[in-house]
Structure 1
């Protein structure tokens, strides 16, 4: 094993908040966990932007979405012009933001991506955002290739770590109650948790709303500040 190869495993989210990318910035490889159950009213197909100083949800409509189906089994709605409506909302909300001219084409490229499968659509968005943020992290496109979907919870995470020959597994802070350091140590792995940092920033005349989509961060902050934000989280 490489001495300090770090791995993270996360479900794909739609324009996730900066803490998601702070996790990506802390690891060498990031596995897209797309063959687990879809979560209704979660962050897989929706996120929040700043509209008039308040959080506003933007949502990718889906066909027959259910918590009984895997993320990779779900298709996007192809019967409406939701892409146009979403982009219009984002444009109207951020047209006066200092980075709008640079960032909006990136957002448009992601929203207009023609994939109809949810997992494919989200993978494209995460890849584009990773590259735009200049993160060197290897993005492992799917968790389906490990052949271990019969394993559950912590056992499956450990198995992926071993197959990826990682030394350190980094999880979001919300997973502290789900995983035991001793179980990872028994397999020669170190378990760490990421504590995200959500620094406030100026939003023109609007009130700042913490924890919004990465869209909000990119629109209001120049690239150097965004880079500082990406690397401000801590591990424990």
Structure 2
């Protein structure tokens, strides 16, 4: 079995979905500390030909709080949602797949929860279903009960409980994990490196590495499925 373990991100970039497609089981690492200035509650969309950052408002988000305990802001979130959908409509309404994708985003934002972890997980699962991915999703907060561990030791513990033989991590993990440490535990460790995906946006100069929203707006499911295989395992 191939496994990946990642914090839940809201409508992340295509590399996150390449990681999902590359494995049999994807673990949402939702009971680790929230990362300020990370990608859990923010990303970029295309705005007037440039990357524009959006940020979901949270209530007292702290790097000492577990992701699954971080709350959406009870007042600001509803206002942000209206403005975000309006921005999506204004900036993407002429995109070829706007109608379907706009409804997809609206359905995601109708989450019946006050937690950013739930909203982020739902966004990933909803898009994965739209792209017809068959990867199984699980939540670290539900199954593993190994919070006394941290770092590589907790990751290896999760892999062992799943009887995984391969662990795939984003390329940034090269600074954190050593292949020999995993191999000594019977695990092959690989790092996934996304290839730059260039596609027709509007008539402006191409802007890469935006939220999956952008790729969904300009490409068919079949085209995106091909993009999801454009990576290297190192």
Structure 1 CA distance for aligned equivalents of residues 42 and 171 of structure 2:
21
Aligned to 1:71: 67
TM-score, structure 2 normalization = 0.96
Structure 1 CA distance for aligned equivalents of residues 13 and 231 of structure 2:
13
Contact 1:15–1:213 under 8 Å retained in 2: yes
Number of residue equivalences: 232
Aligned to 1:210: 208
Give the drift of 1:138: 0.3
Aligned to 2:129: 131
Aligned to 2:23: 27
Aligned to 1:8: 4
Q: Tell whether 2:168 aligns with 1:170.
A: yes
2:93 to 74, 78, 95: 95
Structure 2 CA distance for aligned equivalents of residues 166 and 139 of structure 1:
14
Q: Tell whether 2:73 aligns with 1:52.
A: no
- Worse-superposed segment, 184-193 or 139-148: 139-148
Contact 1:35–1:144 under 8 Å retained in 2: no
Unmatched 5+ stretches in structure 1: none
- Worse-superposed segment, 179-188 or 157-166: 179-188
Q: Secondary structure at the match of 1:20?
A: helix
Give the drift of 1:101: 1.2
TM-score, structure 1 normalization = 0.95
TM superposition outliers: structure 1 runs of 4+ over 2 Å = 141-145
Q: Secondary structure at the match of 1:78?
A: coil
Unmatched 5+ stretches in structure 2: none
- Worse-superposed segment, 74-83 or 45-54: 74-83
Aligned to 1:190: 188
Give the drift of 1:142: 3.3
Aligned to 2:113: 115
Give the drift of 1:144: 4.5
Q: CA RMSD in A?
A: 1.1
Contact 2:10–2:119 under 8 Å retained in 1: no
